[in-house]
């Protein structure tokens, strides 16, 4: 099976802009979780989508949002970018949720200038 | 809030020696404990996981032990090799049912020297 893919791999934006990141899960997986990874805060959970519904949410401001499509592909959007949003954004897919084995993609490296 | 503490933050061992990384968790309802290895420029890769109904699990040179009473779990790597050098993360499920999510430790940078 093909692994989790994320596009784009690298992105440079300026403050105030918005960005959309994409994640294609492993075929057959219905759960997609998003994480933010930074040197200072480590891996932090953003949200989880399952069957097109947000099932879980971490402690991030409303500028961070996501959605999932009927084919389980997911997107996350960050509006009004801040310098502190610079991070590696990872998505992980699993058959049914967080207590299933999660498989991570390679991440999208976002730099906000 | 619920968190996972991981120690040490860095670990240097000689090739062939063993490496041990320890994590503690606070949520007594946690029932799933995966370990991930992250190499430079890549996403985390699952290397082993354990559930709360099991005390120990082994896969070749890697083993994980879980002490539910003390709320801690450990990763053991024997006969370390240079390719084991990476950052290792422990995680624990927080919450129950469909509301559960993974909370990660802060990571251990393992360096295996020749």
Which of the four pLDDT bands, split at 50, 70 and 90, describes residue B1?
low
Q: What is the DSSP letter of B29?
A: T
pLDDT in tens, A23-35: 999 999 999 999 9
DSSP letters spanning A55-72 = EEE-S--TTEEEEE-TTS
Q: Which residues of chain A register pLDDT less than 70?
A: 1
Q: Average pLDDT for residues B19-23, to the nearest whole number?
A: 98
Chain A residues within 8 angstroms (CB to CB) of chain B: 4, 33, 35, 42-45, 48, 50, 55-56, 58, 90, 92, 97-99, 101-107
Give CA–CA dist A96/A87, Å, rounded. 27
| Segment holding A34, helix H or strand E | strand A31-38
Give yes or no for residue B2 having a pLDDT over 80.
no
The residue-averaged pLDDT of B66-89 equals 96
What totals of helices (H) and strands (E) does chain B contain, helices first? 0, 11
**To probe the interface with A, which of B90, B101, B106, B107 has the most A CB atoms within 10 Å?**
B101
For position A36, what pLDDT does the model report? Answer: 97
Q: What is the mean pLDDT of residues B46-58?
A: 92
């Amino acid at each position: 099976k093909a692994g989790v893919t994320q596009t784009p791999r690298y992105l440079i934006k300026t403050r105030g802009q918005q960005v959309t990141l994409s994640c294609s899960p492993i075929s057959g997986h219905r759960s997609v979780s998003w994480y933010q990874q930074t040197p200072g805060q480590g891996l932090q959970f953003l949200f989880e989508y399952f069957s097109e519904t947000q099932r879980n949410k971490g402690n991030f401001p409303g500028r961070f949002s996501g959605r999932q499509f009927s084919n389980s592909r997911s997107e996350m959007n960050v509006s009004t970018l801040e310098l502190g949003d610079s991070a590696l954004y990872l998505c992980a897919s699993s058959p049914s949720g967080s207590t299933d084995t999660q498989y991570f993609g390679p991440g999208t490296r976002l730099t906000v200038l | 809030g619920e968190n996972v503490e991981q120690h040490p933050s860095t670990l240097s061992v000689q090739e062939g020696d063993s490496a041990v990384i320890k994590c503690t968790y606070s949520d007594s309802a946690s029932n799933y404990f995966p370990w991930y290895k992250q190499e430079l420029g890549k996403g985390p890769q699952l290397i082993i996981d354990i559930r709360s109904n099991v005390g120990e699990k082994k896969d070749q040179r890697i083993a994980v032990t879980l002490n539910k009473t003390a709320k801690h779990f450990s990763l053991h790597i024997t006969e370390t090799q240079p390719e084991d050098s990476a950052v290792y993360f422990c995680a624990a499920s927080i919450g129950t049912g469909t509301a559960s999510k993974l909370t990660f430790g802060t990571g251990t940078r393992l360096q295996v020297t020749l």
